[in-house]
Amino acid sequence: MNEETRDPSALHTPVLLQRCLELLAPAASRPGAVVVDATLGMGGHSEALLAAHPGLTVIGLDRDPEALALAGRRLARFGDRAVPTHAVYDEIADAVRGAGHRRIDGVLFDLGVSSLQLDDAERGFAYAQDAPLDMRMDQERGETAAQVLAEAPEGRLRAIFERYGEEPLAARYARAIVAARAEAPIERSGQLVEILQRATPAAVRDQRHPAKRVFQALRVEVNGELAALERAIPAALDLLGLGGRIVVMAYQSLEDRLVKRELARRSRSTAPAGLPVELPEHRPEFRLLTRGAELAGEDERAINPRAIPVRLRAAERTREAS
C-alpha cells in the first residue's frame, strides 16, 4: 500500500495523548503560541494539539521522509499552522529559526521507533520478522545495521550491545557475530536472530528473546539516537520562553535517565552551599511538572501495548536564563 492510500490514524495510536494535551495546554493556548513536535511520526499528537488550540502553530520534526509525507496529509486541513520539517530533533534550533521564530511555547518528544517503522517489515527494525538489516529512520543517509555488523571490530560490537542494549551477553554475541560474518555476510534480520539464538545459553533463551536488546542497541547506534538526544533536550529547553513547557516520553531506560538528569539539573538552584539568601540568578530555570516518571494507565496499556514501557516527564520554565 502506498503513502497516498494509507490512513495514518489507522496505523498509529498516540501514547498518553490526553496527558500530553493536559500538560501542554497552558502553553499551547497562549495567543500565537508555537509548539515543536520534535518527533512528528504520523502526526497523532500534533493533530490533537492543533484541533484543541485554534491559534496554535506546530512545527513537526521527523527524520523519516515517509512519516513526514503521511503526517503532512493528516495535518493538511490545518493549513500553515502545521509546519512539517525534515530534521533530526537535535536540529531543533535551526528548524525553529527556519520557521521564523526565536522562542517557542512548548515542545513534545515521543522517543524511540515509530509504529510506521516497526510495522514495515522491510525496514528491519523488528526481530520477529525476516527483512534486510537496514534500521535507518532516514533511509536516505547513514550506515545500515548490516554495514555496522560487517565492519565494526569485535570490541566495538561488544561496546554497542553493552551501552545501548545493556546486554549482559554482549561479549558472547559480539564473538558469535564476528565468527559468523567470516563465513557469510549478515544481511537479514533472520540471520542475526539465528546467530544470537545459537550463542545464547538455553536457560537465558527460556527467560527472554535473545535478539531484543541487540536489535535495540543496533537501532540506537545506526541512528545516533542517544547522542542526538543529549544535544536535543538542552537545545529544546533553551528555546522555551517563560511559562513554556516540555513533555518527554521515553521507552527505554537509557533515554529516560538522560532526560531525568537534564530536567533535574535545570530545576535545581545553582546557589553555592551555605549562601544565606538565594539570589535571583541562582533560582532554578524550570520546575518539574511530574513526580518522577509517569506511566500509562492499565486501560491504555491493555488497548495499546506500545504504551507499556513509556516513562513521561515534564517541566515548565519559571525563570529566563541569565
CATH number at residue 269: 3.40.50.150
Residue 273 pLDDT: 67
Residue 23 pLDDT: 98
* End-of-domain residue from the set 180, 196, 223: 223
Taking phi first (over 0 means left), then psi (-120 to 50 degrees means alpha), and beta for anything else, what does residue 112 get? left
Residues 229 and 209 in one domain: no
Residues 176 and 266 in one domain: no
Structural domain includes residue 171: yes
Structural domain includes residue 192: yes
Does residue 127 have a known ligand-binding role?
A: no
Does residue 209 have a known ligand-binding role?
A: no
* End-of-domain residue from the set 194, 223, 252: 223
Residue 140 pLDDT: 79
Query: CA 28, CA 244: separation in Å to the nearest integer?
Result: 9
Per-position b or e across 158-196, b if 16+ CB within 10 A of its CB: bbbbbebbebebbebbbebbbebbeeeebbebebbbebb
Indicate which CATH number applies to the domain containing 129: 1.10.150.170
Residue 114 pLDDT: 58
Question: What pTM was estimated for this model as a whole?
Answer: 0.87
Residues 105 and 123 in one domain: no
Does residue 124 have a known ligand-binding role?
A: no
Does residue 173 have a known ligand-binding role?
A: no
Residues 135 and 203 in one domain: yes
Structural domain includes residue 1: no
Residues 100 and 231 in one domain: yes
Residue 296 pLDDT: 96
Residue 263 near residue 288 (C-beta atoms within 8 A): yes
Residue 112 pLDDT: 76
Residue 205 pLDDT: 82
Residue 139 pLDDT: 79
Residue 278 pLDDT: 66
CA distances from 89 to 52, 113, 215 (A): 24, 13, 22
Domain carrying residue 133: 119-223
Residue 316 near residue 243 (C-beta atoms within 8 A): yes
Residues 77 and 39 in one domain: yes
Listed in sequence order, the DSSP H helices in 99-169 are 115-119, 145-151, 154-165
Does residue 117 have a known ligand-binding role?
A: yes
Going from the first residue of the chain to its last (322 residues), give the mean pLDDT of each consecutive group of 10, the final group possibly shorter: 51 87 98 97 96 98 91 96 96 97 97 60 68 87 93 97 95 97 95 95 85 92 93 98 98 94 91 67 90 95 92 96 72
Query: CA 11, CA 135: separation in Å to the nearest integer?
Result: 19
Residue 221 pLDDT: 94
Residues 94 and 13 in one domain: yes
Structural domain includes residue 322: no
Residue 13 pLDDT: 79
Closest to 247 (Cα-Cα) out of 285, 212, 294: 294
